[in-house]
Amino acid sequence: MKSIKLFCFDLGDTIMIEETEVKDHTKTTLRAEIFPGMKEALVLLKEKGLKLALVADTRPGTYVNVLKQHGLLGLFDAFAISEELGTEKPDPRMFQTVLDQLNVSAEEAVMCGNNLARDIAGANALGMTTIWFHWNDRYPTSPPSELAVPDYTVRSAAEFLDLVKELLGEAEESVS
């Protein structure tokens, strides 16, 4: 079993519900809701001693505003934001930036995202484990290439947490 040290997340339709965004005149999101259970999931990953990174094609202010709104900004150890790096996913530099910042190999990292062509294909190209957050059908739901096939698919935060336990090799806790 792989040793996992880092979970990377996209922002829109992975943590944040895009349909709830309130934007300003520069198209920077001022606030938005997050998916049910995602705050608890991120906190739990951090409590397990894992590193968290945001790898997102977004405005610099958007991620700060939304993560601060929900008390999540301080949970993240690294950020790769498209407008700050001058490139977008699936460019490997988006993923490699956080791997380098945190001194973690691709094999020790998991990418969680909602876009098969960008999040999944980009991370798969580097050898990262990939989890497709299939919350909705806003983006194509069929992989456009073999590289865009995710290792795992989840449809809720609860499914994600069950998968995390499996990936970390944690035994099922008995219920008394």
Please indicate, yes or no, if residue 146 is contained in any of the structural domains. Answer: yes
Q: What is the pLDDT of residue 172?
A: 53
Distance CA 14, CA 62 (A): 14
Q: 98 in a domain, yes or no? A: yes
Show the tokens assigned to 147: 């590289």
Question: Residue 136 is encoded by which pair of tokens?
Answer: 């909705």
Range of the domain at 45: 6-105+115-167
6-9 and 129-133 beta bridge pairing? unpaired
Average pLDDT (40-63) is 96
| pTM exceeds 0.85 for this model | yes
What is the count of structural domains for the chain? 1
Answer yes or no: is pLDDT of 114 > 90: yes
CATH classification of the domain holding 70: 3.40.50.1000
Q: Taking a C-beta distance cutoff of 8 angstroms, is the pair 61, 89 a contact?
A: no
- Look at residue 176 and tell me if it is in a domain: no
Is residue 53 in a domain? yes
DSSP 120: I
